[in-house]
Amino acid sequence: MSLLNIGMSGLAASQSSLATTGNNIANVDTAGYSRQQTVQGTNASQQYGSVFIGTGTTLADVRRVYNSYLDAQLRTATSLNSESTSYSAQATPLDATLSDTNTGLTGVLQKFFTSMQGVSTSATDDTSRQSVLTGSQALTSRFNSIAKQLNDQNTTLNGSLSDMATQVNKLATTIATLNQRISEVSSGGGQPNDLLDNRNEAVRQLSDMVGAQVVERGSNYDVYVGSGQPLVVGNTTNTLETVPSKDDPSRMALQMNRGSSTIDITSVVSGGQIGGLLSYRKEVLDPSLNELGRVALVVADQVNRQQAQGIDKNGDFGAAIFNNINSAALISQRSIAKAGNSSGSGNLDVTIQDTGKLTSRDYQVTFSSATDYSVKRSDGTDMGAFSTTTTPPPVIDGFTLALNGGALSAGDSFKVTPTRGAATSIQTVLTDPKKIAAAAPLTGVTSANNTGTYTQPTLTSTINIYNPASQAEMQTALKYSTPVKMVFGAASGGSQSYNLVDAKGNSMGTGNIVPGQSNTVNLNVNMVDANGNAVMDNSVVPPVQKTFTVQTTVGGTPATNESFTISLTGAASSDNRNAQALVALQTKQTVDTGSASKGISLTDAYNTLVTNVGAKAAQGKSDSTATTAILTQAKGARDSVSGVDLDEETGNLVKYQQYYTASSQIIKAAQETFSTLINSL
């Protein structure tokens, strides 16, 4: 090996080092780029006698500075940060909406009951009555607007899932293509540094979309998502798809399409932006819609029920302020037949029986035969086995189920959402302020010069607003079965009798009080229809006349033949007892009455929703902050090994320039030596 060849090898090596350094500098801002280093080796020495003389250098490798452990850490941190940031970005604005006075429910709910308090204070004032209708319209409008925002979020979320699935598939194709190219190059013994970097960056970007597990197999990266569903295997890919959920078409589901089969992976996907959106939907969006709907149902139900117990300014029984929560349209919208149910099968009607017992959960109903079914709550609670043939149908957490349509078969399944749509559907239907039922239905009047004391009578029998026939029967009976009169006998031996008589003077029953004490008396009044005919209960044998119950408290010592007459309250009454009962609904325990706490008020129920969403939003923000710090650390750790340091590369550039110059001097020395040799001849 001549001196010239040694110099030439140095030139070649230094030129390669200069090119590698320049490439590092040029890619300082290239995402995923790993800096490269040249690795030189010595050429084989030549033996001259007993000594060996070197023959120069050779370029052994251009090494990629890379640590697979740090790269895996970066992928994990990227996935976690994207998940928490995506979650927080959804939860934070919802928290602001629910908690803000101008957009939340607290303010308008308070104003509604404040306006009802105005009617209680002045039952005959039409302005106060109109304020109730204005307040109810504002309340239902706010329910509707919050529900719309939540439903709009779901629509946006569906679109985002679809877009992200498309991006995942593009990245999967890129990874598979790079696997193929890397395998081809690697089979020849080379290491394609740039291709390896490109693949790692594609996998990192995939981790930003969805949590992914990477398994290195030879020169390939196999990528799995969910609970091990393969997305990329070598140079082949499966497709991540978004499709309407079989249980609930309004929610997009994720499925892995393997070509010959598909599998729903929605419940097992986590990490990345997709995982954040799915977690938000499951933990915040759907529970918020359900809880908001539950509050709306309780408001409409309790106010309408109490309205029906009172008398309006026209002297009629109170009409509903809000729409009927058990209309034919609404009961049919509370269940969703699973895609793939038997052909011709019907749907389930979901009727609300007791709003206080409702939960904010969804339910899965699965039929084991044409009539037998089991119910499981979304929190995993098994509610038991039931049958559609049971009469009356069993009440499950405040609602009943009934088949509507064609017969069902074993395996048919339904998702039941008793409360989800209620905040969207609630409306104010009362338009006439005179129909606010401020007065109680019954009024008591004592005879002249009475010596006893009496509280105003209270109707303890309930008017069922969801059974039109029963409601009409009770209201008719209250109108035509009154007035009734308590007539007292003489006090004797620490007891005093009374006789309850109807308008015709016929006795309906007798009883006794203790004179001088407070006596709570329950009076059973025989029911008659508009023609004065007895209303009979034919469900028993022999049939008996139906009654309604009135309660009053008698004090003092009524005089002999003293009477207390109970009549239907008339028009334009200043009585405000029913208005007071309506006001009391604000603080009455009407929500979640089936729980161990025995219920909470409407205000507390909404405040609990605000608190829960606020806690989720705060946790999301905290997680986002924490994972951002972790991601920064992971990037720093990766860049400390694989990143390009411009100061270091500038130093290398100077070093390799000097190396190149020195190598050229070797060649020059070889040329001069050769020239000297030629000239000496």
**Which H, E and C letters describe 509-544, residue by residue?**
EEEEECCCCCEEEEEEEECECCCCCECEECCCCCCE
Residues 595-618 have a mean pLDDT of: 93
pLDDT of amino acid 424: 98
Q: What mean pLDDT is reported for the chain?
A: 93
Q: CA-to-CA distance for 594 and 399, rounded, in angstroms?
A: 12
Sheet holding 382-387, edge to edge: 335-337, 413-416, 363-367, 372-377, 382-387
pLDDT of amino acid 251: 95
Residues 470-491 have a mean pLDDT of: 95
What is the DSSP secondary structure assignment for residue 355, as one 8-state letter?
G
Place of tokens 């809880």: 291
pTM: 0.90
Q: CA-to-CA distance for 94 and 91, rounded, in angstroms?
A: 5
Place of tokens 């239905």: 441
Of 81 and 345, the one with more pLDDT: 81
Residues 613-627 have a mean pLDDT of: 96
> From start to end of 43-167, where are the E strands?
46-48, 51-53, 57-64
Nearest Cα to Cα of residue 576 among 400, 378, 438: 438
**The dihedral sign for the CA sequence 20, 25, 30, 35:** positive
Concatenate the DSSP letters of all residues of 131-173 into one string.
HHHHHHHHHHHHHHHHHHHHHHHHHHHHHHHHHHHHHHHHHHH
The dihedrals phi and psi of 449, each to the nearest 5 degrees, come to 60, 35
pLDDT of amino acid 656: 84
Rg (CA), the chain: 41
* 669, pLDDT greater than 90: no
627: exposed, middle or buried (Cβ count in 10 Å: 0-12, 13-18, 19+) = buried
Residues 578-589 have a mean pLDDT of: 96
Residues 448-460 have a mean pLDDT of: 94
* 188, pLDDT greater than 80: no
Residues 597-604 have a mean pLDDT of: 91
- Measured between alpha carbons, how far is residue 132 from residues 113, 303, 317, 433 in Å? 8, 12, 17, 8
The dihedrals phi and psi of 247, each to the nearest 5 degrees, come to -85, -30
Q: What share of the chain is helix, strand, coil (3-state, %, to 5)?
A: 45, 25, 30
Of 188 and 516, the one with more pLDDT: 516
Tokens at residue 587, please?
């603080």
Residues 6+ apart with CB under 8 A from 139: 105, 108, 109, 111, 112, 299, 428
Residues 579-598 have a mean pLDDT of: 92
CA atoms within 13 A on the CB side of 645: 12
Lowest mean pLDDT among 241-255, 318-332, 664-678: 664-678
Residue 336: CB atoms within 10 Å: 22
Q: CA-to-CA distance for 641 and 637, rounded, in angstroms?
A: 7
* 624, pLDDT greater than 70: yes
**The dihedral sign for the CA sequence 206, 211, 212, 213:** positive
* 163, pLDDT greater than 60: yes
pLDDT of amino acid 143: 98
Residues 566-585 have a mean pLDDT of: 96
Lowest mean pLDDT among 55-59, 250-254, 431-435, 555-559: 55-59
Provide the CA 360 distance to its chain's centre, in angstroms: 10
Nearest Cα to Cα of residue 440 among 574, 548, 321: 574
Phi-psi region of 83 (alpha: psi -120 to 50; beta: other; left: phi over 0): alpha
Residues 6+ apart with CB under 8 A from 600: 589, 591, 592, 608
575: exposed, middle or buried (Cβ count in 10 Å: 0-12, 13-18, 19+) = buried
pLDDT of amino acid 132: 97
* 592, pLDDT greater than 80: yes
Residues 599-618 have a mean pLDDT of: 96
Task: Note the pLDDT tens digit of each residue in 350-367.
Answer: 999 999 999 999 999 999
pLDDT of amino acid 393: 94
* 1, pLDDT greater than 60: no
Place of tokens 């902050």: 625
Task: Note the pLDDT tens digit of each residue in 385-428.
Answer: 999 999 999 999 999 999 998 889 999 999 999 999 999 999 99
Domain extent listing, the chain: 3-65+644-679, 442-568
Report the percent of the chain where pLDDT is more than 70: 100
Residue 354: CB atoms within 10 Å: 14
